[in-house]
Chains A and B, each alone.
Chain A
């Protein structure tokens, strides 16, 4: 199945335009990642309207490459100006910036790019092998299993939204409710349209996402100040020697990539958690843990390999089960749906060529990351100097045209503005935004699975508990809800004991 998908996908991927779009996506992704405040998610959001006008594999190549490049770009600004371009690079800062202060900027940036690309490739191997297997298993899933899975995706994301799990769940429910606006998929009823015709088709997902993330970020950047400041950065040129330097620490590289892939597969865990976890594991397994934080190469490799491997991991449930692991993959999934392909087992059985093309685009994006990242480092470093006073209006303009371009609708621009205001208010009060997007993307699947299940069972809810897979997933859902309901003190005690057990493990195993 996999070989056939690759062969079929090769025909779609190996065209000059698709390869060019993937390279362009990688380049734009790194640029967007380097700029503080923007990141892979923003890159995907800004380029989705452009991708909408391209053939499917070209479009997905562009967006996936932005995802890959954007996940690495933040490391450059973290190392050189101590401002992580994206939260993903926060762990890279711990050793990357001290390396820069020691005069090892060239080595630090080179290692970050090499480790990211190789971590991404290892994550890609898992994507290529695990996604078709998971899709094959999911062929046995019916509506009750899908309903339980969509709930699992949403609850998991709420659970990892820090201490504010209730707020995460509320945001997820808001996303699900937003998705109910418009025509009911089962009857001829129009819901929550208030007699207003532009609402008959529901809210445009691009307008929601651009508003929530891009517009709210612009508000935050404007109120943060420092708009005309120009950071002072040195001229940095890296070389391909950094590939050898990263490979010489192959145990750390491999282990961090595996951690990243694992956290990527888990809904909601994401790149930030994976980067900090692999950093902590690398430190615990080092012969000189006391040197971590003072500028050691292993610190940079651990965080960068993990956060890019996470991209491959996050795409596994997105493509195979239609359950996105984070906001970036939710938008990627939304883009794939806009292009006319619904993720899940059917995508693998009916459109194996598109799946193969997506796999090849992901692998090629990591190769481009390595080559372009190293060759064009001076250009990416110079991007850090762009002032926010120029950047903010350009991002706003691209957000506007992009949102308008999808349906040619001025109403979508008002929706974007409305969600921008909502997103800003929610962010000010620590409500996570990712559950809203995931809820809005998963909403139609969740509703149709629930109602189809009830129709199949003659409106009997036992159907969810009579089927073993559905029952098992629902038990996990219930366990997660119980975890949320636990008092904070008890949760801290359990977490403390778990961390204590994890610390004992490396002492027994010894350093590598």
Chain B
């Protein structure tokens, strides 16, 4: 048996349901955005009451809540900031994730007990920059996604007394975070205040001195990146002593959150229990079921290659369809009460995944609605139905439709 310091598994959540799911599925901490001062304005984002509920829920599970205050402040964003930080502190939030040095300064000046985590928007990649933020009193640095494992190793050795957070999974900005104005120029949407229009994923015509380089119907220029997945390297990151593993995706689905969090949770636990027995291949298969795009390893090995880029929409693949969430299970009848999330019908094969047990499959043989009527199809979103599973499932398990290759 091996014993390691387990890193924090840090998950994203765009609303309370996702937050609770992330914690149930094994996150040690969840980062959320408030209604103001947070990037990802398209995510639902949390009111103060939501954050209060999140903290209470997290406390029950021994988990922590980090709140992103990572917008780059403009003159008209300054009002209300101190009051907001005080409220987060009063509520019992563990940390604020901050990109603007002014916010870092006032959290310390106000004597709040909030930890300050330097956002990846600050693009920190070297020990001197880390020392600067350490001297400011920041407790943790979220390293830039551009940081390689080789550099991370040196940083860990030279900065043993500040927490390091490292991205392990999710979408990647093509440009240095915080230093990208494509959205601002192309669509007047402010990327540094959460309005990014993802212009890097658009198609472009490209010209040299002689004229257009790409053929009109040919491969267009694009900057779009594949998503990061470091499941093959989690072991060495645990061995290195990285403090926190970050999963990207506050705007991602419940299915994504549950799948990704539970997979990394299982890997970390299994590795720390017995590293010899863990095969990342099995976990990667599971992660692929919730993947929106093909995977790459980002800058883990130093520099990206052509294979890290998405030039073709065919490389974007839909996730496996999330169709149900288990609300209850009757042991005697082997019938689950479920909440419908996407269309399914009698005869479909369902894969149940869970924070409590290994995946299991069953064929839908009966669906009964709230009026006790047998139905052939489940096509009303969020409808509560009864489904015979024939196998024990648990509350909060989720089901996805199994697609068989033709």
A and B form one complex: no
Query: Which A residues fall within an 8 A CB radius of B?
Result: none
